[in-house]
Structure 1
Amino acid sequence: MPGDNQRQLHLNLFLMGVGHHEAAWRHPRTDPAQAADIGHFQRLAQAAEAAAFDSVFLADGVEARTDGGWGLVSHFEPFTLLAALAAVTERIGLIGTVSTGFTEPYNLARQFASLDHLSHGRAGWNIVTSAGERSAQNFNRTANQRHEVRYQRADEFLQVVTALWDSWEDGALLLDRADGTYADQQKVHEIGHVGEHFQVRGPLNIPRSPQGYPLLVQAGSSQDGKGFAARWAEAVFTAQQTLAEGQAFYADLKRRTAEAGRDPRGIKVLPGVVPVLGSTEAEARALDQELTELITPERSVAVLSSVLGVDLTDHPLDQPLPPLPPLAEINGAKSRFELIRDLAERDRLTLRQLVGRLGGGRGHQVVVGTPEQLADHIETWFTQGAADGFNIMPPLLPAVLTDFVDQVVPLLRKRGLFREGYEGTTLRDHYGLPRR
């Protein structure tokens, strides 16, 4: 094992149905019915825990497409599923996505405090602002808020939530049966928040949880998103396609964090990576081709149109993208728009080629190769200033997770990059972060 002061990789398993590839449910190595089976997710979490992953992570959305694209199939609501995972695991962190756009701070603060209590300090919140118009239309709105307003609301949301978590001080819960004192009222406070978006009296109706705050995770990479992350986030799930882009994002975010008055070591950058593995390069490329051939282009184009805010449904599949609007006019996910636009332009992709490239990871880096080549890729990004760890996104589940655990993790350990086992009990312990 490396010395205590040697920097170690952080690995998070991104749980997604039967795999991250959009055609995973059609591949013979998966059983699509498992996406509705709690046992499937419990086994995945247990496998990741056996390999000493820092955490598992659930994305979430509050819309369903009606054209047969992604999102048509229902997914488990994160709190419900993470509670079920907490019951069958002991050490691995449990990170769930909840939007600041479609819930109230009091409800969310209570839910995450509850998850942190029942998991004995393993909860994490992936903070999103939700870009889609369809999502807004499910919550009594005709359109979503402007990009900058969503982040302003999110900033106030965090102020309220953290104040609620702080509304119970450590030691407030006395449970003194002799004199009938349940809690020290001097250590339980109303927060009296009155702001532009929220008015919340407090205090929270659940005592302070084991971590104080769950781990705060964020996934936006726009200018507003990076500013928000610098103020609040302790881990960032991100997507860059090249080492140079990864290094630039990493340096920028660490700089912004320092300028916000925080220690840059207190924010972990975790790019997503989709491992398409084979015992040889040829075998890995063959798997990649199998998955690509299972994509239904028309459905993928419909989803891409929604992401880009440009109707591509009648655009020829074997032509490059048409001219796209400037970034300033995009009210959706700006960083993902920019990533897809740059990928298409840099590699001169046709629409058909673009949806094929996006099918594996929706813009996250896809590494097609042997376990050794993937370990090389991870080591390069980790040692050359582009990542503190990775958000692992297997294209097929559980098959490729098994391959990663059995074949890649031992290589990372042999190189002194990843721990042999857990050294702490909470999610903050795993990320080397203090209790809040």
Structure 2
Amino acid sequence: MSGKARQMHLGAFLFGVGHHVAAWRYPETEAHGILDPAFYERFAQTAERGKFDMLFLADSLALLGSSPSHTVSVRPEPITLLSYLAGVTQRIGLAATVSTTYHEPYNLAREFATLDHLSGGRAAWNVVTSSRNEEAANFSKKQHPEHSIRYARAREFIEVATSLWDSWEDDAIVFDRATGQFAHPGKVHPIDYQGEHFRVRGPLNAPRSPQGRPVIIQAGSSETGQQLAAETAEVIFTAWQTIEEAQTFYRNVKSLLAQYGRSQDDLKIMPGIFPVIGSTEAEAREKEQLLQQLVLPTVGLSMLSGSLNVDLRNYPLDGPLPELPELEAVNGGKSRFKLVSDMAKRDGLTIRQLIYRVTGARGHRTIYGTPIQIADQLQSWFHANACDGFNIMPPYLPGGLEEFVDQVIPELQNRGLFRTEYSGATLRDHLGLKRPASKFSRPPASSSIH
């Protein structure tokens, strides 16, 4: 075992002009940045200056929120944006959400392989199954597919995509001008996949990329999502309110890896953290209170209703939640439903109080304080084996990320908890992940898809 001290991994989570739903109204936010390429370039370069493992773009295939009237409801298409950011950064990983429910694996494999080539090996795919009926309506569907069907399709989707990324062996391209041979025919493989949801011949029309395959991320924390992540994912983005919940999740998922022939180092668990930073704890809480004062009640109520799959408009704001459906009956995001409903029960929250919890961090953990206090809380979770690092969710931009990079990162570095320089060139290097061999290589590798 290496004597090198374990260090945390950090993702910079880009979400609109800040993660707080009212960030666009906050005085220090560059609200028009959502339309400005310089805004995204500044975010990426700030995160790279902070030596983050990756920047991460979430995505949705429908308008965000119930109405465009009061929220920043637009998002750039992530692959296009990351391709642009690949040209203005050098080391930081580039991760994007793409849904398996409303895409096809051949297109996705081609897009991410291209991004991995263009970026020199920095691409990552966040696998989601989509959770909203509004998305179904944009893809000729009368209703959103059931949870079990979405996950069955997702598993096949990942298997097809990884097979396509492997369909060119590393040394398949010959480039022999003398003989006229471009590629070795025995090293470019059809995949001939036949499944319940997909039939794909292959091979991909792009050669194997620098990382072999882009890093695979997942965000589902349901029981089904944990099993899929243990089999296929290399990073999990998750959300927990207490260290005890995070520790339980960490143990449970890591314990599943052995059945797929994987080690605990093959999967990094990174819960989301919403940091509000001030020169004092009181100043940090004042910032958060100002953001909350800018939330329109109708916006907060819409967000909470969406998280719980229940229309809460006819219930008193200062009363408790109504009776909620059983988890098995929820066809949206099961893990987010459970997180928010458990939080309400555990802390005895009214609807209004619960709105304040979701309009900022959307169910992720909010931490307040000075840079030292923020670092203390991150260190506590990390050393307690509640995580392998964190996905940082700045409340507003660009200042929220710049404060973290300029004030919290140096504190983590001084404690030996985070890198001071990148030691590798690819995202797999940053995360300490092995480069997978092509499953078509000789001698044949295991048929496992992780």
TM-score (norm 2): 0.95
CA distance in 2, matches of 1:300, 1:67: 12
Greater displacement, 291-300 / 92-101: 291-300
CA distance in 2, matches of 1:266, 1:189: 27
Q: 1:405 to 1:309 in 2, by over 3 A?
A: same
Partner of 2:365: 365
> Which deviations, in whole Å up to 9, do the C-alpha atoms of 1:132-155 show, x marking residues without a partner?
111111111011111111111000
How far off its partner does 1:72 sit? 5.7
Partner of 2:46: 47
Greater displacement, 308-317 / 221-230: 308-317
CA distance in 2, matches of 1:299, 1:415: 40
Alignment map for 1:385-424 (pairs within 5 Å): 385-424=385-424
Q: Which amino acid aligns with 1:267?
A: L
Could you list the runs of 5+ residues in structure 2 that have no partner in the other structure? 437-450
3-state SS of 1:359 partner:
helix
Q: 1:281 to 1:71 in 2, by over 3 A?
A: closer
How far off its partner does 1:26 sit? 0.3
Alignment map for 1:23-422 (pairs within 5 Å): 23-64=22-63, 65-68=65-68, 73-422=73-422
Aligned residues: 434
Q: 1:110 to 1:4 in 2, by over 3 A?
A: farther
Tell me, yes or no, if the aligned pair for 1:164 and 1:204 is still in contact at 8 Å. Answer: yes
How far off its partner does 1:70 sit? 8.1
Tell me, yes or no, if the aligned pair for 2:18 and 2:395 is still in contact at 8 Å. Answer: yes
Tell me, yes or no, if the aligned pair for 1:69 and 1:300 is still in contact at 8 Å. Answer: no
Q: Which amino acid aligns with 1:27?
A: Y
CA distance in 2, matches of 1:260, 1:245: 24
CA distance in 1, matches of 2:434, 2:422: 16
How far off its partner does 1:345 sit? 1.0
How far off its partner does 1:374 sit? 0.7
Q: 1:212 to 1:71 in 2, by over 3 A?
A: farther
Q: Which amino acid aligns with 2:178?
A: A
Tell me, yes or no, if the aligned pair for 1:66 and 1:72 is still in contact at 8 Å. Answer: no
How far off its partner does 1:194 sit? 1.1
CA distance in 2, matches of 1:144, 1:71: 24
Tell me, yes or no, if the aligned pair for 1:69 and 1:302 is still in contact at 8 Å. Answer: no
CA distance in 2, matches of 1:159, 1:70: 40
Greater displacement, 345-354 / 87-96: 345-354
How far off its partner does 1:258 sit? 2.0
Tell me, yes or no, if the aligned pair for 1:191 and 1:203 is still in contact at 8 Å. Answer: yes
Partner of 1:13: 12
Q: Which amino acid aligns with 1:160?
A: V
Alpha-carbon RMSD across the aligned residues, in angstroms, is: 1.2
CA distance in 2, matches of 1:197, 1:71: 36
CA distance in 1, matches of 2:77, 2:332: 23
3-state SS of 2:314 partner:
coil
Tell me, yes or no, if the aligned pair for 1:106 and 1:161 is still in contact at 8 Å. Answer: yes
Tell me, yes or no, if the aligned pair for 1:12 and 1:391 is still in contact at 8 Å. Answer: yes
3-state SS of 1:134 partner:
helix
Q: Which amino acid aligns with 2:339?
A: L
CA distance in 1, matches of 2:97, 2:272: 16
How far off its partner does 1:4 sit? 6.1
Q: Which amino acid aligns with 2:241?
A: Q
3-state SS of 1:272 partner:
strand
Q: Which amino acid aligns with 1:7?
A: R
Greater displacement, 131-140 / 234-243: 131-140
CA distance in 2, matches of 1:164, 1:68: 38
Tell me, yes or no, if the aligned pair for 1:36 and 1:75 is still in contact at 8 Å. Answer: no
How far off its partner does 1:68 sit? 3.8
How far off its partner does 1:17 sit? 1.9
How far off its partner does 1:247 sit? 0.3
3-state SS of 1:311 partner:
coil
CA distance in 2, matches of 1:339, 1:165: 35
Q: 1:70 to 1:113 in 2, by over 3 A?
A: farther
Instruction: Among all aligned residue pairs of Structure 1 and Structure 2, give the percentage whose two residues are the same amino acid.
Output: 53
How far off its partner does 1:67 sit? 2.4
CA distance in 2, matches of 1:160, 1:192: 9
> Which deviations, in whole Å up to 9, do the C-alpha atoms of 1:152-208 show, x marking residues without a partner?
100011111111111100100111111110110110011111110001010000111
Q: Which amino acid aligns with 1:222?
A: S
Tell me, yes or no, if the aligned pair for 1:69 and 1:299 is still in contact at 8 Å. Answer: no
Partner of 2:434: 434
3-state SS of 2:216 partner:
strand
CA distance in 1, matches of 2:287, 2:309: 31
Tell me, yes or no, if the aligned pair for 1:125 and 1:215 is still in contact at 8 Å. Answer: yes
Tell me, yes or no, if the aligned pair for 1:70 and 1:303 is still in contact at 8 Å. Answer: no
How far off its partner does 1:306 sit? 2.3
3-state SS of 2:402 partner:
helix
Q: Which amino acid aligns with 2:48?
A: E
How far off its partner does 1:69 sit? 7.2
3-state SS of 2:34 partner:
helix
Tell me, yes or no, if the aligned pair for 1:68 and 1:299 is still in contact at 8 Å. Answer: no
CA distance in 2, matches of 1:50, 1:411: 15
Q: Which amino acid aligns with 2:377?
A: H
Q: Which amino acid aligns with 1:10?
A: H
Tell me, yes or no, if the aligned pair for 2:30 and 2:398 is still in contact at 8 Å. Answer: no
- The reply on whether 1:22 has 2:37 as its aligned counterpart is no
